[in-house]
Structure formats: structure tokens, C-alpha cells
Structure 1
């Protein structure tokens, strides 16, 4: 059992009741409670909320409750095009996590109740969410090294209001709850009263649906992960040929799980749907994705981060590459590795006055000692090198092409057996 527990405290009715109930229980258990307050800076009364909540916690502490108060004021503002709600939620959870960790807590309690859960399911359904979205809020989740728990998620709001009356607790009303520019406020003020009038059991039934959606989402995730394990390793490329062999109804969930692993950020459902529609017939293609792009070549789908996707190569760079080293080339979007090898490399003498150049056209490459030099385009096609993997620097010594990313060392420059030699490797970012 933790020695301390944190409670996210806004000062509203729900979190006030949860904070008070937690502190009373903690006193009997010998625990410390840390109230965590986030000042969003979005409404004029935010300073008043902070001051009153601080004073309330101080009064409760003087009365014998094991309570400590912490507050953080958010900095910055939503990015252009980002909703205020999404920004506030993301930054609030980050601030709560930082305060909880600083206070030595590994458990954070949140005050959402059954009606909040029902509202969340409705909002997600109206946004076209699938099983994971319709699962709404989890009762327990592990994130940022913390356990986040909602102990009242199955409790009706009426029980919370009864607790407030019984203990004569005072809370603050957030005036932003009256602003119908926010979707949840429109739902609460316009839709919810009519829904309850027509369907009195709506709250209980919607909350029950969220639980069943959570079960379905968990099962779907397990199945998708099993199928994905045969199609991709860690964050590596997706085997599109194998993916095409899946039942059609399995493809989108597997795509979604793969995208979640490589993007490490929320996956737009529009991207999942587009890929599910276009991948089955595509041979080579590119799609924009959050933070970079997706590239399909040779039945492999890969994610390319922005620095590699957007790098612009300079005209030429003179370098001494005659000893093992790593050469970072940000403008090219990658790193050139020079490595000592026993065979298949080039004599260091070829690389003392090397020059890195962008492809101009007309260059030829000899793949093997007895092969005929051929145009780079034909060599790339023969080796099935994707178009975007041809953008790395060509390494010249004088006018002799020595190294080509994706093709290797030109056979005309390879060192003799027993001679000291180096190999070159291009590592896109």
C-alpha cells in the first residue's frame, strides 16, 4: 500500500468530495494525501479558485486531515488549429504527473463519476469512435510511471451530492461549464435533460455499454497484436504482403496497432481508413502521417520521421573519410558510417579527398568486378531500391564514383585481398 496518495483537485463539487473522502480514509490508514491543483489560466476566476482551494486544504489540515496542497500554473497556449479542450487535457495530465512524482506518490485519484462516463461515451460515438473510444474512461490505467484510478466511475452523481450535503462541504462552480462552445457543455445543457426524460435509465445503460466496449477493445487489441507480431518486428516495417493475406475485417485493427507503435502519438482514424482502402492495390506510394510520412516499397510499409522525409541535400561536401568514423550530415538527413572491414571495401587512399555530391544524372555504377557499368537508375531498379532511399549522398574520389547508398562500393574501387580497406554505410535519420 502506498505511503501517500494524490488526488486531482479542481475545487469543483466532484473533486472536493473525493479529496475530503480520501483524506478521511487516509487518516484511518496512516497515509498522507496530496491535493494536486492545475491552474489552466483560461478563465478570469482561476486565481480565485487557486486561493480558495489552498485555504480550504489548509483548514482541513488544521482539523487533523493528513493533507498537503500543490499547484501548478500552465504555460503556453493551444497550437494553431488545436482545440482548447484537447490542449488543456494534455497539459493538465502532464502537470498532475509532475506534481505527483515530486510528492512521492505513485497513485493519482480522479473524480469522474458514472454520468461523466456516459457523457464521454456519447461524445465519442458522435465523433465516430470505435471500440477503444467507446470504452470511454478506464477505471484504472498506468501511465508516466503512475497509476491513475477513478474510484467513483460507477457511482451516480446523486451520491456525490449527498456526500457534500452530509459533510457540509463547499465547492466552486466553474463558469466555463456554461459555455456551449464546448461540446460536453452542449451535451449536458441541451441533450442530457431530454435524453433522461425520454430514457430514465440512460446513464446506467450507457455506462454499462462503455464497460462492454472496454472488454471488446481489450480483446481486439490482443488479437491485433498477435497478428501484427508475424508482420512487423518492434517498430520495424510492416509486411504488406502478409497484411493483405489477413481477413479484411482484421486489416484496419492491425494497421491501427502498427501505426500506434511507429508514430508514438494519436493515430488519425482518417489515415487508418485511407491506408486500409489504398494499400491492397498499391505497389509503391507515400502518405503524409503525423510527424513524417509513410512509404511503401517492395511490399514494406515504413514510417519516416520529418528530418529524413524533408532533408534537402547540399550540392557538394568535401571530407576526409580515410579512417573509421561516423559523419553526421543533418542537411542530408542521416549519418555516413566509415568502418574497417576485411573484404569488400575500398582502399583508404580513395577516401582521403572524398566529395559528397547529390545525384545529377548520368552517373554509372559497376556492381561486380566483371559486370558492365550501368546507369544508377537501372542499378536501383535491379536491386529494388525505393525511390526515397536513393536520395543519400554519392561519394566520389575525383570523378570516380566510389559509393552509392543502397548499392554499396563501386567494384572498380574495391581493395585487393589483404589490403587495408573501409566500407561505407549510409544511415538515414
Structure 2
């Protein structure tokens, strides 16, 4: 270890010191770090450096994707290095879902990281300059915009944690030289040579050809990613202003949206559709939203499905609905009735919302409490005589006048006794029906919250 430490000190006093110190200063003193270590050359060097620089604040995690026979042995190599460096090590097996293997393996890996990250820890990964340049090229080939071409950031704030890539400005050749100087063991994953995978093809076949023509390509492409990051930051400021002006995460005002330029409108729709997801929708999907939903005929019930959400238009707004919510509204509500009894101050949880029995200036007779009442879903064609209104009129018309969202109308329920309508539970509250059971100083179910 003394020899390795001496070699490390030589590296530290040369090029690496300035790089690492400037990055470490981003974090408060005493920050803890969780290092994602695959056993490869890059991550083993990172593990070694971090263990020497922050020996009391470092843990490592090896994610075993269980896709290759020697994966357990690679984990043991990581664990042995951690033992020698006297830092804790986590070995986490994962199951990789079917589909695009590269994407699914990445998803499983990050889920494992988040599972073990503590609230005060920073996730540290060993992506380097060539990884960055490859990412830019692959995203360019997929038709990415500024967000995609900005690629990876050295420090990235994600939803629940911070990600740090201290090697991002280092070349793979520099990393290889330092690894050789320190005589560090590491594994060569054979999948990195399998050109069936896009990144391996880019690295093995495309990269040498491009670099023979453009020797400084790696630095140039990586530099482009930093310029894109600046552009993305500027765009993000404009986007936030547009977002606040036009709506929120669940809905956008189409009149305000129409006041934006085509480019700003497209960017806002793209970010809004992404929501909390990891990736923005394809360009074509944003175009479909504009053409098939926003520009559809006023009476059309158009909906666009993407990434577990449905996008629908209603009353001059466009809404993003969870798939479960939208599909539930398309089901025929059950026709059978159920019996229900109420008591004073009782809390009732119904599809339309959470209600509480409370006294009211005008409400239902108190002697109805404790009696068996009938509760049924709206089937269509019902009429209601709303208390305070003249005459009976279609319940459908009352629902439309109240502008209850179409995708919530299936939650509406009618309460009655002996075929006399007492009222209606709706997402906008309880509607009292005029009947012989109405009295001054009675009770009503008041809407407390949405379900």
C-alpha cells in the first residue's frame, strides 16, 4: 500500500489534484459518497482514488446484473479491493427486465443505486470523456435535441440524490496510464466488444474510423456537449417562465399556449409530457399531441396515449391523466345498488372523494342517520330536482354545467331511499336533492378531499 500511496501522491501532485479539488469543493465538508463500481478499469481507479482521498466517507456498490457467467467473480474482485482499502462494499444482484438490454440493465442498475443511497450520500460514477463523446454521437443518431446532446453533466441533481462524475473531462488513455502506474486489477467485460450493442459498435467500429479522420474528435464532441449544456440551461429558464404562465404538471391552458412561438410551444409540450419520467417523448409524439388532440375538432373526444399517461383536451385546457384514471372512465359503472348507513361526523371514502357527515343549514333529516340507504352509480338518463332550483332536469346537464371532468364522471353516485333521490356524490361535492327528507338544520356529506 505504501508503494501505491507513493504513486498516487505523484499523480495527485500533477494533473489530478486541480481537477479533483475543484470538484470536491462543490460538496459540504463531511459529505459521504457511494461509488458505483463495476470492476472495470475506470471504476476501479475511481474506487482507489476516493478511498485514499475520503477514507472515512466512502462506500462502494457492485451491481450484479447476472447476465454473464463470471459476474459473481467480478463482484468478489471489487469486494476484495474494498477490503484492502478498508471501505464497506455492497454486492447487489438485480434482475434485468426483457426488452432493450442496454436500457433495461441501466434502469436496474440505477434502481439498485437508489435502493442503497442514504439521504446524505452522493452517487459517484466513473464516466469519462470518451463515454461522453459516445453518448453525444448515439443521441445524435437517434435525433435528440439540446437536452439529449447535452449528455452527461459532471454534477447532476436528480429527483432524490446528487450524481457526481469526476472523471468526465479525463481521456480513457489518461485513466489507463494511471491504472497501470498503480498496478490496479480490473476486469474486461466481454460485452464491451460485442458490436450487437450500440455503444460497443460505436466504440469498436465507428470510433477508430472517425478518429483517424478527426484526431481531436473526442475533445471536440465532448466540448459540444458542454456548449449544449449552456444552451439547455438558458432554455430551461425560458421553459420555466412559459410553464408557470401556461399551467402546471397536470394541465396547460391552450389559449396561453397558443401565444407562444412554435418552437417554445414544442419545447413546453415536450417537457410537460415527460413529467417525472427520465426521457422526453420522441419528436413525432409531440407533433401527434398538437395535431390529434390540441387541434382536434371542439366536440372530438381525442386522446393520446404515451408512457403510461393519456393526454386529453377539455374546456380550453389539455390534461395529463394517469392511465388507470383514464381507462377507469371508459368502463361501464356497475348497475347494482349497495346499502349504506351514516352516523354523525362519520368519514366516508367514495370514488368521488372523501366526505364527512356534518350539520348544515339545510340538509337531510336527522332520522335518516342509521337507516339503510341505497347507493348506486349513475347509469345515464337520471333527472334531479336540485335543492334551491326550480323543477327537475337531467343530471347529465347539471354535470356539464358544473364542468366536471369527463374522466371523473364515472365516480358519481346517487343516494336514495325507497326510490326517492336524496342527493348525488360528485367530485365537486354533494348535491342535495329536493325531497320530503330535506329539513332546516339537517345534515349533509361534505367533501373533505379528493380520493
Moved more, 42-51 or 247-256: 247-256
Structure 2: 5+ residue runs without aligned partners?
1-28
What residue is the counterpart of 1:409 in the other structure?
431
Residue 24 of structure 1 pairs with residue 52 of structure 2: yes
Report the alpha carbon displacement of residue 112 of structure 1 after superposing the two structures with TM: 0.8
Query: 2:31·2:121 contact (CA, 8 Å) conserved in 1?
Result: no
* Residue of 343, 358, 365 corresponding to 1:340: 358
2:191 and 2:164 map into 1 onto residues whose CA distance is 25
SS in 2 for 1:77: coil
Aligned partner of 1:318 in structure 2 is: 339
Partner of 1:148: 163
For 1:386 and 1:139, the matched residues in 2 are separated by 44
Stretch deviating more after TM superposition (145-154 or 201-210): 145-154
For residue 389 of structure 1, report the CA deviation from its aligned partner.
Answer: 2.8
Q: Is the 8 A contact 2:96 2:108 kept in 1?
A: no
Q: Distance in 1 between matches of 2:183 and 2:278?
A: 43
Where 1:153 maps in the other structure, the secondary structure is: coil
Does the C-alpha gap of structure 1 residues 415 and 281 become closer, same or farther in structure 2, counting only changes over 3 Å?
farther
The match for 1:128 is 143
> Which aligned pairs between 1:220-231 and structure 2 lie closer than 5 A?
220-231=235-246
Q: 1:393 is matched with which residue?
A: 412
The two structures have a TM-score, normalised by structure 2, of 0.82
Identify if the C-alpha distance between structure 1 residues 266 and 323 changes in structure 2 by more than 3 Å, giving closer, same or farther. Answer: farther
1:70–1:99 contact (8 Å) kept in structure 2: no
Q: TM-score, normalised by structure 1?
A: 0.85
Instruction: Kindly report which structure 2 residues correspond to 1:166-315, keeping only aligned pairs within 5 A, or say none.
Output: 166-233=181-248, 235-261=249-275, 266-269=279-282, 270-282=284-296, 283=298, 284-311=301-328, 312=331, 313-315=333-335
Residue 41 of structure 1 contacts residue 74 of structure 1 at CA under 8 Å; is this kept in 2?
yes
Q: Confirm or deny: 8 A CA contact 2:246 2:253 kept in the other structure.
A: yes
Q: What's the CA shift string for 1:191-240, capped at 9, x where partnerless?
A: 1111111221211111011111111112212211111112224x443222
Answer yes or no: is the 8 Å Cα contact 2:362–2:440 preserved in 1: no
SS in 1 for 2:334: coil
* Contact persistence 1:321–1:348 (CA under 8 A): no
Q: Which stretch shifts more, 3-12 or 219-228? A: 3-12
Number of residue equivalences = 411
Aligned residue number for residue 369 of structure 1: 388
CA positional deviation for 1:340: 1.8
**Distance in 1 between residues matched to 2:307 and 2:393, nearest whole Å:** 38
Question: How far apart, CA to CA, are the structure 2 residues paired with 1:356 and 1:307?
Answer: 24
When residues 146 and 370 of structure 1 are mapped into structure 2, their CA distance, relative to the original with a 3 A threshold, is: closer
Q: Deviations over 1:104-147 (max 9, x none)?
A: 86233211111100000111111221111111111101336543
Contact preservation (8 Å) 1:106, 1:145: no
Q: Is the 8 A contact 1:409 1:424 kept in 2?
A: no
CA contact (8 A) 1:39 1:46 kept: yes
State whether residues 178 and 185 of structure 1, in contact with CA within 8 Å, keep that contact through their aligned partners in structure 2: yes
- 1:64 alignment counterpart: none
Whether 1:356 and 2:375 are equivalent positions in the alignment is yes
Question: Aligned equivalents of 1:373 and 1:46: distance in 2?
Answer: 73
In the alignment, is the contact (CA less than 8 A) between 1:8 and 1:36 conserved in 2? yes
Match in the other structure for 1:91? 108
- Using a 3 Å threshold, how does the CA distance of structure 1 residues 142 and 406 change in structure 2: closer, same or farther? closer
1:38 equivalent in structure 2: 63
Conserved 8 A contact 2:345-2:357: yes
User: Are 2:442 and 1:420 equivalent residues in the alignment?
Assistant: yes
